[in-house]
Amino acid sequence: MSLRLPLAQSCRACLHSSRQSQQRLLVLHQRPFSLTPRRADAETASSANLASTGSAPAPQPSRAIPLPPPSPQPSSEATAHSKLVEARELAHKQLRHLLATLDSSARKQAQAFSAALRALELERKLREAGAKINQATGYEEIERLRNGVAEKERALLEARERAILFKRDYTERVKLRADSQREVNDLLQRKPTWNGPDVLRFTELVQQEHENERAEAKAKSEMEAGEEAVERGFSDLMQAILERYHEEQVWSDKIRSMSTYGSLAITGLNVLLFIITLLLIEPWRRRRLVQNVEERLRTNSQQGHDATQAQLETLQHLLQQTQASLDAVAATTAGLAAPPPAPPSPIPVPETPFTPVFDSTSPEAVAAASSPASTETTASPTASQQPHSRVVEQALAAVEGHEVWAAGAAGAVGGIAIAALVSLLGR
């Protein structure tokens, strides 16, 4: 009997825990995201405690989970799966947005950092270039003297402040000693009426008198040393200012002389270039221009002469053919009308090519008309070439003269402008 009771209690606890787990699974299927992790952990812990103790828990009607209404289980699983997929997609989307934001911000910070580094590098390079220029021109010594003047000014200000403090201390010591002496004189005037405190006070004042005298002497020596330091600092400052002024004057004179020599060198270079241009380049350009023009004129005249000669040869060949045909016709006509006369003398053909004029006349008229045309054509090229060559030569001479003077004037004006600019920069 004693063994059956614990066994029955343990069986009852197992049945109760299995029933609660089934109810919890049903609730999770119905509402998969409504149960919080803390509550689930509490229920799991309570079920574990029940299983370990083996006793049934006390009924708690207020915390009992009501049974859900009957609903189809596959639809609840599909809803939970769809919600889980939506939550996963939302999480992925938020993660991608966060990564894009972080990437853009990191890229902007990297660009800003690189721009700052470039600015620092440029500043360093400019500083190094300025230092090299100062070292090359001798301005580095002036910078050193300027820094020395600033240090002397600070030292003079500090010496003046110390001198003021020493003077104030000396004034206080003198005032304290004067008060002590005045009190001693008052005590000495009423010496017959002294009592115990007056005697003690007199002794104390005498001791203080010796201490005040030593302190006053020390303060006086410190004040004098401070004044001497001020005078010495002022003298050093004036000397440093004079040295700096002298070095600046020497540097400015050197730069001015360098600028003067530079302007003279540039002016001389411009004059040399002008002379070289005037004596060497311009004649060469003139010769080349004349050669080009002559070559073009010669080529054009030769082409025209060749074309005219070809036309004249063609016309002469046609004239000979026409004369031969006319002779044949005349011979045939004379043979039919009368006894054959003596053969006519041939018409002489001039050696100079000519332009014939075709007309319904005899061969003699054709020959007479062709002779002046040929003379005109042969004389026309030489007559037309002379005015063209004369005009071209006149134009070339005018252009070359203007170019030479324009180049010379431009070189002189450029040299004067550069010299003035260099002298202004030197000043």
Q: Alpha-carbon Rg of the chain, whole angstroms?
A: 65
Angle at 347 between CA 342 and CA 349, to 5 degrees: 155
What is the C-alpha separation between 157 and 70, in angstroms, rounded? 98
Residue with tokens 């828990």: 57
Determine the residue type at 11: C
**For 81-119, what is each residue's pLDDT tens digit?**
888 888 888 888 888 888 889 888 888 989 998 899 999
**For 33-85, what is each residue's pLDDT tens digit?**
444 444 444 454 454 444 444 444 444 444 444 444 544 455 677 888 888 88
Other Cβ atoms less than 10 A from the Cβ of 215: the count is: 18
pLDDT score, position 50: 43
What is the C-alpha separation between 82 and 94, in angstroms, rounded? 18
For residue 365, what are its two tokens? Answer: 């008229």
The contacts of residue 19 (CB under 8 Å, 6+ apart) are none
What is the C-alpha separation between 31 and 214, in angstroms, rounded? 100
Q: What share of the chain is helix, strand, coil (3-state, %, to 5)?
A: 85, 0, 15
Under a CB-based contact definition with an 8 Å cutoff, are residues 37 and 78 in contact?
no
pLDDT grade, residue 266 (50/70/90)?
A: very high
Q: Is the pLDDT at 278 greater than 70, yes or no?
A: yes
Under a CB-based contact definition with an 8 Å cutoff, are residues 302 and 310 in contact?
no
Which of these, 136, 138, 160, 140, lies nearest to 148 by C-alpha position? 140
Q: Is the pLDDT at 341 greater than 80, yes or no?
A: no
DSSP secondary structure letters along 315-352: HHHHHHHHHHHHHHHHHHHHHHHSS--PPPPPPPPPSS
Under a CB-based contact definition with an 8 Å cutoff, are residues 254 and 163 in contact?
no
Angle between helices 37-53 and 4-30 in degrees, nearest 10: 160
**For 404-420, what is each residue's pLDDT tens digit?**
565 566 666 666 766 66
Under a CB-based contact definition with an 8 Å cutoff, are residues 235 and 207 in contact?
no
- Answer positive or negative: Cα dihedral of 402, 403, 405, 409: positive
Cα–Cα separations (whole angstroms), residue 383 to 313, 323, 375 = 22, 32, 12
The distance of Cα 191 from the centroid of its chain, to the nearest Å, equals 94
Q: What is the number of domains present in the chain? A: 1
Average pLDDT of the residues of the chain:
73
**Residue 182 falls inside a structural domain:** yes
The contacts of residue 366 (CB under 8 Å, 6+ apart) are 319, 322, 356, 357, 358, 359
The distance of Cα 123 from the centroid of its chain, to the nearest Å, equals 13
Which of these, 165, 302, 159, lies nearest to 232 by C-alpha position? 159
pLDDT score, position 140: 84
| pTM for this model (two decimals) | 0.41
Angle between helices 139-189 and 196-276 in degrees, nearest 10: 170
Under a CB-based contact definition with an 8 Å cutoff, are residues 323 and 363 in contact?
yes
pLDDT grade, residue 21 (50/70/90)?
A: low
What is the C-alpha separation between 43 and 45, in angstroms, rounded? 5
**For 354-367, what is each residue's pLDDT tens digit?**
444 444 444 444 44
- Residue 146 sits in which domain range? 139-257
Residue with tokens 């620092």: 120
| Long-range pairs for 125-132: beta carbons < 8 A, 24 or more residues apart | none
**Residue 408 falls inside a structural domain:** no
Determine the residue type at 339: P
